[in-house]
Structure 1
Amino acid sequence: MHSPAPLPPTNSPSPASRPSRAPVVPAAQRGTGRHRQRRKPSSSPSTPEAEQPDALAHILRTEAAVSGISRKAAAVRQQSTRLWPRAVLEALDSAVAASRWESALEIFELLRKQHWYEPRSQTYARLLMMLGRCRQPGPATALFKAMLSEKLRPTVDVYTALVGAYGYSGLLEEALATIDQMKGAADCRPDGYTFSVLIDCCAKSRRFDLIPAVLDEMSYLGLECNSVIHNAIINGYGKAGMLEEMESALSKMLECGNNVPDIYTMNSIIWAYGNYGRTDEMEKWYSEFELMGVEPDTKTFNIMIKSYGKAGMYDKMMSIFKYMKKRFFSLTAVTFNIVIECFGRAGNIEKMEYYFRLMKIQGVKPSPITYCSLVNGYSKGGLLDKIPGIIRQTENTDVVLDTPFFNCVISAYAKSGDIKIMEEMLQLMKDKKCKPDKVTYATVIQAYTAQGMDEAAMLLEMEAEGFDKKLL
C-alpha cells in the first residue's frame, strides 16, 4: 500500500448529506448578523410570561434543550402566543439538527401560534428534509398540506425535500408523482439536485430498474448527470453487493470525462469490496484511486480497518490504525469503536479493554456504540458480571443510553437465561425514558418462550402489538 501524505478531502456533497439551501429560521424573524442578539419582540409580554424568556434561554443552554422546550410547548400550547422568538426558534433549530422529528413538529406547532410568526417556505423545506432523514412520510404529507393551508406556494426546495421524504421511505411511486407535480407547477421545474435525490432514493431502495428512465428524463430537460448522481449509483450497487455493475457504473463515470472520481467514489468502492470480504480488490482499488489523485480520508481508513477486522486479518487492521497515528489522521470515536468491536467479536477481551482505555486516555469520548461493543464482547466471552460495571460507567458521563444499547444488554442476559436480570434491564430501559422497539420485544418474547414462560410471552406480545399500532 502506498503511503501518501494526507491532503484535505474533496468536499463533493452527497445527495443525502447536502445542506438545505435556506436556514430553518427566516431572517425576518430572527434578525441578521451582529444585530441578531439585540432584536426584541414586536410587543412586550405580560407579567406572567415575562419570566418565560429567561427560563427558555436557560433550558436551551443545557443538553436537555430540545426536550425542555418540548415540555414547555405542551404546557403553554393553549394559552401562550407571546413566547420569546429567539428561544423558540433556537429550540426548533436544535431539534431539526438532531433529527428529533417529534419534538421539532411540536415546537413548530408552538411557533405557528406566536403573534410574530410569518409562514416561510424555507422553514417547511428544512422540516421536510428532516422528516426524509427520519423516514417519516406520513408527517411529511401532513406538513406539506399545512403549508398549502397557509397559502404558501411550494418552491423547488420544498418539492425536492418532499421527494426525499417519500423516496427514502421506499415510497418511490409517491416520489415520482411529486416530480410530475413539479413539472406541472409554475417555476418549479425539477433541477439537478432534485434528480440526484430521486436517484439516490432509487439506489438505496435497490430499484435500479427505475434509474435509466430518470436519467432519460434528465436528458430531456437538458440536465447533465453530475458526479453526485454517479456516486449515488455506484454506492447503491456497492451496498447491494452488485460489484460488477458497480465497476460498470464507475467506468461510465470515467468515460463521461466531466465527472472526476472523488473521495466519495473511493470510499464507496473500498467499502463494497471490503464488506464482502474481497480485501485483495479493496487494496487494488485503493492504489488505483491513489493514481487518480484521490487522497484517502479518515473514513477510508475506518472502512479498511473494519474490513480487515471482519476478515480476521488483525495484523493488517492494526497496521492501518498505526498508519493513521503516524500520519496524524484523526483517531475518532468511530475508529476506536470499530477496533473495540472487532476484538470483542473475536473474543479477545484483553485487547478490547486495552483499546477502550486508550480511547479514554487520548480524550476520545465513548458513545453508546462503544458501550454496545463492550457488552457484546463480554457476552461472547461469558463475562456477564462485567456488564453492570459498564452501565455504572455511563452514569458518570453525559452519554445518553439509547435503544440499541439496551437491546444489547437485554440480549446478553436473554442468551444466558438470566430472565430476572433481563427483566430488570427492560425496566431500567423504560425508567431511562428509552422506548423499546421491535428488536427489544422479539428478544424478550423469545427468551420467555425458551424458558416455557408462555403467559409472560403472551402478555408481552400484546404490549408489542400496541406498540406496532402506535407506530402505524
Structure 2
Amino acid sequence: MDPTCLSWSNSISSTIPTTCSTKFLNDNTPKLTLPFRVLSLKRSSKQHSPGLQKDPKKDLSRILRTEAAIKGVKNKVDSWKNKQLWPKAVLEALDEAIKGLRWQAALKAQFLALGVMGFLGLTVGFIEKEKKYVIHNALLWGLGTDLKIFALLRKQRWYEPRCHTYAKLLMMLGKCRRPEEASYLFEIMLSDGLKPTIDAYTALVSAYGQSGLLDQAFSTVEDMKSVVDCMPDTYTYSILISCCAKFHRFDLIEPIIAEMSFLGIECNSVTYNTIIDGYGKAGMFEHMENSLMDMVENGNCQPDIFTLNSFVGAYGNAGQIDKMEKWYDEFKLMGIKPDIKTFNTLIKSYGKVGMYEKMKFVMDFMKKRFFSPTIVTYNTVIEVFGKAGEIEKMDKEFKKMKHLGLKANSVTYCSLVNAYRKAGRLDKVNSIMRHVENSDVVLDTPFFNCVISAYGQLGDLNRMGELFLAMKERNCEPDNITYASMIQAYNAQGITEATQKMENMMITAKESFGTRKTLA
C-alpha cells in the first residue's frame, strides 16, 4: 500500500427501514398524549438569541434532577406500588439498560407489570388474559435476578404498549444470546394486544439466529409470510444470511438468495456486504471476491466503506498484508475513502505481524488528516504491544491515551493485566487494580476472569478470592472460565478443599442454568 494513497472520508451509513406498530386489540385504556419513545430523549441543541440564553445552572439542575429520577426508578423496581413514576425517567432508565445490553435490568419490570392487574376488578374476559400474563411473568422472573425496568414501565398508568419497544428489546436479547427470553417476550407482546411488525419479527429472527438456532430462525421467517403486511424484507433476509455465515452454514446462503429472487426482493448493499463479511471472516477469500464481483455486476448497489472494511479486516486478520494493501488501493481507485474503523483495522493488522513502523505511520497519518484516535485505536495498540511483551511501549501508549483525555474501559484494563501477568509483574497488576477502583469504569465478566486468572497464576489466592466475591457484588455472573481459572490456581497450590468447593459451585451453576432453560 502506497502511503500517499491514504485518505480520509465521511462514514457511509446504511439506514434500516422501520415500520409502524399497530394494535389489533383495542381496550378502553385512555390514550396518552405523550408519545412513547425508547430512544434517548436528546436535549435541544437549538441556538437561542443572546437576550434569551438559558441559565447554564438551570440546565445543570434539570440534568441532575433527571439523573436522580432515573436512579430513583432503579431503586423502586422491586416495589409493586409505583404506578405513577415520571415517564421520562422510566423511559431513559429503560433506554440506558438497552444501550448497555443489560437484558436483565431492562426486562424485569416488564414481567412484574401485570401481576397485580388480575386483582383490580377487571372484567371476566380480561381475567383469563391476565392469567397468561402472570404465567409468563413467573417463568421469566425466574430467568434472572435483575429483570426490572421494563416491568416497571408496564405497571405505569400512562403506559401504552408499542411494538417498536418490543422490537428494540428483542434485538437486545438477540445480541445478548437470550433466545428463550426473546421467545417469551414475543408471546407477551401478542398478549399485550399488539400485531407484530416486520421489525419485531426480524428481531426475533435475529435472536434465534445469533444463538445458532437456525431452524427456529427459518421457521419464524415462514411465520412472517402468513401474517398480513409482515412479509420478510431485504433486511430480514440479510439478518438471516448473517446468522448463517456466522455459524459457517454457507450452504444455506444460495437458497436464501434464490427465495428472495422468487419473492421479488432485490439484494442491496447490506445483503452483499453481509455475504462478503461472512466469507471474509471464514477465510473463504475466493468466495468473498466473487461476491464483490456479483455486487458490482448487480448494478443497483455499489461497494462502500463497509465493503472496504470487510476486505481489509479479512486479509489483515489472516496476516496477508500484501493482499490487504492491494485491496485498500483498489477501493481507493473506486472512490471509497477509509474511515476510523479502517485505520484501526490497519493498525491491528500491522501490529499482529510486528510491523510497528507501518503501524506508527498509520497513526501519524490519522493525526495529519485530523482523525482523532479513539479508545478502540489505543486499545488495539496496547493489546498489540502487550501480546508482544513490549511492556515499556505499552505503558507509553497507555499514558498517551490518558493524556489525551480518553477514558480506559474494561478492554483496556484486560490487555494491561494480561501483559503484566505474562511478565510476572504482580506490582503492575496491583497498580492497575487501583486505577480501576478509583474510576467509574463498567466492569464485566471477562474483566473479572482476566484479573482472577492473573492473581491465581501469580499466587495471590487471597486477592483472587476477594475478586470472586466482588464479581458477584457487581452482578457479574461467573462462567466456566471463572471457575476453571480458580480451580487451576487452587490445584497449583495443592488446596484440594477449595478446589472441590469450586467444582461443586460450577456443577450447581450448570444445573441452575439447565433448570432455567427447561422452564423456558
TM-score by shorter chain over 0.5: yes
Q: Cα distance 1:29–1:196, how it changes in 2: closer, same or farther (>3 A)?
A: farther
Q: Cα distance 1:143–1:431, how it changes in 2: closer, same or farther (>3 A)?
A: closer
**For residues 20 and 337 of structure 2, what CA distance do their matches in structure 1 show?**
31
Q: How does 1:270-419 map to 2 (within 5 A)?
A: 270-419=312-461
Q: How does 1:14-93 map to 2 (within 5 A)?
A: 18=16, 28=32, 30-31=34-35, 61=67, 65=70, 69-74=73-78, 76=79, 78-93=80-95
Please tell me the residue identity of whatever aligns with 1:95: A
CA contact (8 A) 2:309 2:341 kept: yes
1:461 and 2:503 correspond: yes
1:456 offset after TM fit, Å? Answer: 1.6
**For residues 72 and 289 of structure 1, what CA distance do their matches in structure 2 show?**
54
- Count of residues in correspondence between the two structures: 441
1:315 offset after TM fit, Å? Answer: 1.4
1:228 and 2:270 correspond: yes
Alpha-carbon displacement from aligned partner over 1:126-180 (angstroms, at most 9, x marks no partner): 2111111211111111111111112221111111111111111111110111111
CA contact (8 A) 2:5 2:329 kept: no
Match of 2:102 in 1: 100
**For residues 355 and 491 of structure 2, what CA distance do their matches in structure 1 show?**
38
- Secondary structure at 2:188 match in 1: helix
**For residues 248 and 59 of structure 1, what CA distance do their matches in structure 2 show?**
56
**For residues 20 and 443 of structure 1, what CA distance do their matches in structure 2 show?**
45
CA contact (8 A) 1:29 1:85 kept: no
Please tell me the residue identity of whatever aligns with 2:275: I
CA contact (8 A) 2:19 2:198 kept: no
Q: How does 1:206-285 map to 2 (within 5 A)?
A: 206-285=248-327
Please tell me the residue identity of whatever aligns with 2:166: Y
**For residues 433 and 59 of structure 1, what CA distance do their matches in structure 2 show?**
26
CA contact (8 A) 2:70 2:89 kept: no
Alpha-carbon displacement from aligned partner over 1:378-412 (angstroms, at most 9, x marks no partner): 11222111111111112222212322222221212
Alpha-carbon RMSD across the aligned residues, in angstroms, is: 2.4
1:20 offset after TM fit, Å? Answer: 6.1
CA contact (8 A) 2:70 2:92 kept: no
Gaps of 5+ in 2: 22-30, 43-61, 109-148, 515-520
**For residues 352 and 12 of structure 1, what CA distance do their matches in structure 2 show?**
36
CA contact (8 A) 2:7 2:338 kept: no
Alpha-carbon displacement from aligned partner over 1:80-119 (angstroms, at most 9, x marks no partner): 3222222222211221222111111122212222222222
Match of 2:209 in 1: 167
**For residues 430 and 201 of structure 2, what CA distance do their matches in structure 1 show?**
49
Match of 2:123 in 1: none
Please tell me the residue identity of whatever aligns with 2:98: V
1:205 offset after TM fit, Å? Answer: 1.9
- Secondary structure at 1:400 match in 2: coil
What TM-score results when the alignment is normalised by the length of structure 1?
Answer: 0.88
**For residues 93 and 400 of structure 1, what CA distance do their matches in structure 2 show?**
17
Q: Cα distance 1:227–1:355, how it changes in 2: closer, same or farther (>3 A)?
A: same
**For residues 199 and 451 of structure 1, what CA distance do their matches in structure 2 show?**
49
**For residues 138 and 170 of structure 1, what CA distance do their matches in structure 2 show?**
12
1:277 offset after TM fit, Å? Answer: 0.9
Please tell me the residue identity of whatever aligns with 1:9: S
**For residues 171 and 467 of structure 2, what CA distance do their matches in structure 1 show?**
35
Q: Cα distance 1:19–1:303, how it changes in 2: closer, same or farther (>3 A)?
A: farther
**For residues 269 and 428 of structure 1, what CA distance do their matches in structure 2 show?**
42
**For residues 310 and 29 of structure 1, what CA distance do their matches in structure 2 show?**
56
**For residues 17 and 105 of structure 2, what CA distance do their matches in structure 1 show?**
20
- Secondary structure at 2:195 match in 1: coil
Match of 1:12 in 2: 14
1:28 offset after TM fit, Å? Answer: 4.3
Please tell me the residue identity of whatever aligns with 1:279: I
**For residues 241 and 157 of structure 1, what CA distance do their matches in structure 2 show?**
31
Structure 1, 330-339 or 432-441: larger mean CA deviation: 432-441
1:457 offset after TM fit, Å? Answer: 1.5
**For residues 268 and 318 of structure 1, what CA distance do their matches in structure 2 show?**
22
Match of 2:118 in 1: none
CA contact (8 A) 1:20 1:126 kept: no
CA contact (8 A) 2:268 2:301 kept: yes
**For residues 29 and 438 of structure 1, what CA distance do their matches in structure 2 show?**
49
1:146 and 2:184 correspond: no
Which of these residues, 145, 159, 163, is aligned with residue 117 of structure 1? Answer: 159
Please tell me the residue identity of whatever aligns with 1:123: T
Q: Which has the higher contact order (CA 8 A, sep 6+)?
A: 2
1:433 offset after TM fit, Å? Answer: 4.0
What TM-score results when the alignment is normalised by the length of structure 2?
Answer: 0.80
CA contact (8 A) 2:179 2:208 kept: yes
Structure 1, 415-424 or 95-104: larger mean CA deviation: 415-424
Q: Cα distance 1:419–1:324, how it changes in 2: closer, same or farther (>3 A)?
A: same
Match of 1:41 in 2: none
Gaps of 5+ in 1: 38-55
**For residues 255 and 478 of structure 2, what CA distance do their matches in structure 1 show?**
41
Please tell me the residue identity of whatever aligns with 2:445: T
1:156 and 2:158 correspond: no
Please tell me the residue identity of whatever aligns with 2:247: S
Q: Cα distance 1:317–1:21, how it changes in 2: closer, same or farther (>3 A)?
A: farther
